[in-house]
Structures are given as C-alpha cells and as structure tokens.
Amino acid sequence: VVVVVVVVVTAVVLSNRTDTFKATFIQECERRTPENTSTDCVEVWSAFEQAYVGRDPCQVPPEAYDHLLSVAPPQPACNRMLFWSGTKEVAHQVSEGCYQTMEDSMLGSVLDGMTWCGKEGSNETFTSGCPGWTECENNPVRSFWSRASAEFAAVACGDAVVLLNGSRDTPFSPTSIFGSIEVKKFTSDRMKSLTAVLVTKDNVLANCEDESLKNLQKELKPGIKYICKEVPESELLTCKKDHDQTCVPCW
C-alpha cells in the first residue's frame, strides 16, 4: 500500500510540474499574442519543449531552439531596440512603454526569470534541480537566451541603444551575452547606430574612455555609427518619470 501511495503521489507531483509550467507558458503566450495572428501557442510550446525534453540538461546547445525561433520569431521595432548588460533592472525601468527589450518579445516575456530542463529517459519538464548558468555551458536556460538573443540582435534596425554598467570595471564584457553574441549579430544594412549608455551608480568605475568600450567599437561593423554617453542612474529614472508619456530619450 505504501509503495502504491508513494508511486501515485510522485506521479501526481511530477505531472503537476510539467502541467503548471506548460499552462503558464501557453497562457502567457496567448495573452501576448494578438488574436489575428497565426501563432498557435500549443505549437509554440511543443517547439519549445522539443529543445530539451528527454535530453541530458548539460547537452542542449543553442541550435536546439532553432525550430522554436522559427515558429515564434522576435518582431523588430526600428529605432526602439534596447539591449543591456549588467543593467537589467534599470533597463526595464527606462524601456517600459517606450523601448523594446528581449523580454518584451513574446518568448522573452514568457521565459524571463524561469528555470527549466529535461532529463534523459523522461518526457517531463523540471523547474528545479536544473544546472546553473555557469555549471555547464550547454544548459537549456543559457542556450535559450543565447539563441533568442542572437535572433533579437540580428533583426535590430535603425538607431539602437545598449545600457552598460559604469559601476563595473569592465562595462563591456566579452563573455556576456551582449558582448559574445548580440554585438556580433548587428548588421550595418539594418542598423544605423548604437548608443552605449554607461549607467553609473554612486561609484563610477568606468567612463566612455574605458578600454573595454574600445573593444565594443572594434566589434561593430564599419557602417554602424558608435556613440557613447555617461548618465547617472538617478538621472535616467527622473527623466523617465518626467517624460513618461512622450518617450523622449533620456540620454
């Protein structure tokens, strides 16, 4: 009897794990998808799950999400694309209602803050006990952001912005997703300029002369104009508050 109870309880817990995550995913997908589009959220879910289910969670490369990105590609918003590295919170505070970050795309908003993985020999989705960001490179979460960010950057157009952290030694980190993937995907036929905004808190550790920013400039294709601005975080937030309706740039 005990064995049966344990088995049943385990089965219920396990299937709930997949069900809750799946239900949230589909619900969010539907909430974010305009009615008149052809996006089928059940199809998006199966394209998503197919990337990692039944696989060793350290052997999910970015390409595993190729199909997902073709089913649900990010839509570019020219002159309103905002990238960030080490500035996630302030980036979303200032972008709200005006700029488009990766998390404003359907997939980005559905998966932001989530953890997921599969297991060999199982058709479940697990939301705990998954490898951490640096535990192994090809983990489902990291590979998703790598692949989706590549796509998001590849469609960037017009004048784009990146918020970098000027309270760090190396605001442009070559190992970050922005430095290792997004910058390399910008194309000069689509993108006119990139404004790097160095956001500083109380401790200013880097300015526009910083060595790491020279590397950022070097990475940009010749046709893309580079602009750098230093702006204290408090100024960004006040400006945003004062111009909330008009979306005038705060840099």
102 binds ligand N1C (CB under 6 A): yes
Cross-sheet strand order for the sheet of 82-85: 82-85, 158-165, 191-200, 225-232
What SS3 class is residue 207?
coil
| CA distances to 51, 122, 193, 212, 214 from 219, in Å | 30, 42, 13, 11, 9
Q: Which of 78, 98, 208, 239 is catalytic?
A: 78
Nearer of residues 18 and 173 to ligand N1C, judged by Cβ: 173
Which of 57, 108, 166, 171 lies at the binding interface for ligand N1C (CB under 6 A)? 108
- Rounded Cα distance, 120 and 180, in Å: 30
Q: Determine the distance from the C-alpha atom of residue 223 to the mean position of all C-alpha atoms in its chain, rounded to a whole number.
A: 25
Which of 85, 125, 138, 143 lies at the binding interface for ligand N1C (CB under 6 A)? 85
CB atoms within 10 A of CB 8: 10
Is 228 one of the catalytic residues? no
Residue 6 CB, shortest distance to ligand N1C, in Å, is 35
Site residues for ligand N1C, 124-153, by CB under 6 A, read 133, 141, 145, 149, 152
Which pair of structure tokens corresponds to residue 49? 């799950």
Is 78 one of the catalytic residues? yes
74 binds ligand N1C (CB under 6 A): no
28 binds ligand N1C (CB under 6 A): no
> Is residue 162 within 8 Å of 82, Cβ to Cβ?
yes
> Is residue 156 within 8 Å of 81, Cβ to Cβ?
yes
Site residues for ligand N1C, 176-205, by CB under 6 A, read 176-178, 182
112 binds ligand N1C (CB under 6 A): yes
What SS3 class is residue 46?
helix
Give contact residues for ligand N1C (rule: CB under 6 A): 83-86, 88, 102-103, 108, 112, 133, 141, 145, 149, 152, 176-178, 182
Catalytic residues: 78, 157
